[in-house]
Structure 1
Amino acid sequence: MVTNDVVNVGLLSSLKPTVNFANKMTAEAGQVWGPRTISDCQLIFVESGKATLSIGDSIFSIGAGECVFYGANTPHKLVSSNRNPFTFMSIHFDWNRESSEPIHPIHGIQECQLSERFTIYKIRIDDHREINFPHYFINPNIEGLFSHIVREYRYEEPGYTFILRGLVVQLLTLIIRNELNGDLSLGEKRKIAPSLELIRKQPEKNWTIHELADICGYHPTYFTSIFKESMGCTPKQFLINERIRKAKHLLLEAKTVEEVSIKLGYTSIHYFCRNFKLITGLTPTEYKLQSLEL
């Protein structure tokens, strides 16, 4: 069994990513990068055409609006289509570095053999959630951010490194948000899609593991395992997170905290308040008052 390398990036809100290189180009028919490794991380957004990425034991066929990611020391191979060469934007970056000054990646590129091993990057969202940064995802809405990053890198106007840091923070956050909210057609998440949809539609219901597992057609133990692998938390914690997310909206409209607690299926207002403060750092009353003051 292959054991992949795991890098714990840290807390999302504390990251200081640095862009090392950004470019846009149209590949030649059949153009090949690799097999190789790089010393930093790389994100690629496909504007048009087709390409194939080999990473670990996975092969991704990528087209317009699709993205791929691979990290430091991960053997990979990228091949442009012979019939439909791809136009793409590429960003090399480090996850967390004090300096915002770019370090050009050219000296960190090494030829290698493809292998089944690859690096997994874990990012902590908060005290309750942690996710694996995706190697493949679909998010056409981030094309503008990629373009902005490429422009800033090319023109090097005063303060561009700080602007790049801000832009890549926004980019990474949107990718992570997309992953949390769910492209449910990919990977293991597809298996638990029915349960996610039901919890989001009815967070006020006290869903049991057996009910959710049965909806997805799996044994409760296996269901819980793939749920935690996909979402970074247990089904119970996901239900609590969804309740508190909805509570934030309801608190702005409801007259009392108890009214919100009942609407979200809590039988105890004290339990609701404890959950709310554990996740937000505020009591429901403090959150409601703060929102009114702002």
Structure 2
Amino acid sequence: MVTDEKIKIGMLSMLKPTVNFANKMTADPGQVWGPRTIPDCQLIYIVSGKATVTLGPNVFQLNPGECLFYGNNPHKLVSSKDDPFTFKSIHFSWDEESPVPNHPLNGIKNCSTSELGDLVSPYQILVDEHGEVEFPNHFILPNVETLFTQIIREYRFEEPGYTFVMRGLLTQLITIIIRNEMNGKYSSGERRKIAPALEAIRKQPNINWSSCELAELCGYHPTYFASIFRETIGSSPKHYLIQERIRKAKQLLLEVKTIEEVSVKLGYTSLHYFCRNFKTVTGLTPTEYKIQSLEL
């Protein structure tokens, strides 16, 4: 039985996703896929028309511009009888050494209607300095249709290097979806709890936020707050603040004339401390980073 146990995908920056199949088609009125399971994962973009998908206990009504994702959980997809949908579809594997497609057809299996009620296992991806992000099942994301189109074209025509190009495009698509999820409403329960603290740090990295102040923003005891922060993000609030400051510093070093000014803008009272933090995170001094960026 499929449960809601998390499926750990691994570190985003280390993934080697592979496109197994890509296609665009228009369904027949009332056409049905499933109940079934697939051996890999699938992303669908709705171009026009309407459809309904049953995924675990959830039923989604799909309209133009919406996207759907599922893995090997039992699912059922039904095209509208009155307004059959046209869609773009990508079957893929998350992490494979080879970029060569492995067609999923032989691994597709029918399942019982009762299995559609099984809880869906969420797919979670580890993002540097942000912790785990749950890949969404149903979402709207503007401007991704072009990526679907490019992947389908590469799959169909198999021009030289097409597997390498598909891997790059799919990596870009996955990253955009994850970024959108991260920049949204912090959908996971634990991340929602610390969302006010994350927002405060991102908006005002120049403030030397204490763990107690951040905990108060979220309405929790400092000890409990520090625990869920580390569990969700993978680092302490202090370390996360440093990371955000250095991320902002990289931008400011290309815009502001002096390193001292960047240091002050980010709330550092000691230039030495700023330089030490910067080198610890990036491996370069601010001066080296600034010169290297200008040379490039």
Answer whether TM exceeds 0.5 for this pair.
yes
Q: How far off its partner does 1:247 sit?
A: 0.9
Moved more, 280-289 or 142-151: 280-289
Q: How does 1:139-150 map to 2 (within 5 A)?
A: 139-150=141-152
Q: Which residue of structure 1 lines up, in the alignment, with residue 68 of structure 2?
A: 68
Q: How far off its partner does 1:7 sit?
A: 3.5
Query: What percentage of residue pairs aligned between the two structures are identical?
Result: 63
Query: Whole-Å Cα distance in 2 between the matches of residues 252 and 126 of structure 1?
Result: 23
Query: Whole-Å Cα distance in 2 between the matches of residues 223 and 59 of structure 1?
Result: 35
Against the structure 1 CA distance between its residues 280 and 121, is the aligned structure 2 distance closer, same or farther, given a 3 Å change threshold? farther
Counterpart AA for 2:101: P
Structure 1 position 167 matched with structure 2 position 166:
no
Q: Which residue of structure 1 lines up, in the alignment, with residue 48 of structure 2?
A: 48
Counterpart AA for 1:116: D
Q: Deviations over 1:177-235 (max 9, x none)?
A: 2223x12385656776655544333221234556556556x435787787778767665
Q: How does 1:1-294 map to 2 (within 5 A)?
A: 4-71=4-71, 73-112=72-111, 113-126=115-128, 129-180=131-182, 182-184=183-185, 188=189, 195-208=197-210, 211-212=213-214, 218-219=219-220, 236-294=238-296
Query: Whole-Å Cα distance in 1 between the matches of residues 199 and 283 of structure 2?
Result: 27
Uncovered stretches (5+) of structure 1, i.e. residues with no partner:
none
Q: Contact 1:52–1:78 (CA<8 Å) still a contact in 2?
A: yes
3-state SS of paired residue (1:141): coil
Q: Contact 1:152–1:160 (CA<8 Å) still a contact in 2?
A: yes
Query: Whole-Å Cα distance in 1 between the matches of residues 235 and 54 of structure 2?
Result: 29
Uncovered stretches (5+) of structure 2, i.e. residues with no partner:
none
Query: Whole-Å Cα distance in 1 between the matches of residues 200 and 212 of structure 2?
Result: 14
Query: Whole-Å Cα distance in 1 between the matches of residues 121 and 196 of structure 2?
Result: 29
RMSD: 3.2
Against the structure 1 CA distance between its residues 183 and 128, is the aligned structure 2 distance closer, same or farther, given a 3 Å change threshold? closer
Q: Contact 1:23–1:90 (CA<8 Å) still a contact in 2?
A: yes
Counterpart AA for 1:253: E
Q: Contact 2:134–2:188 (CA<8 Å) still a contact in 1?
A: no
What is the aligned residue count? 290
Q: Scaled by the length of structure 1, what TM-score is found?
A: 0.82
Q: How far off its partner does 1:161 sit?
A: 1.8
Moved more, 163-172 or 38-47: 163-172
Query: Whole-Å Cα distance in 2 between the matches of residues 257 and 16 of structure 1?
Result: 38
Counterpart AA for 1:243: R
Q: How far off its partner does 1:169 sit?
A: 1.7
Mark the structure with the bigger radius of gyration. 2
Q: Scaled by the length of structure 2, what TM-score is found?
A: 0.81
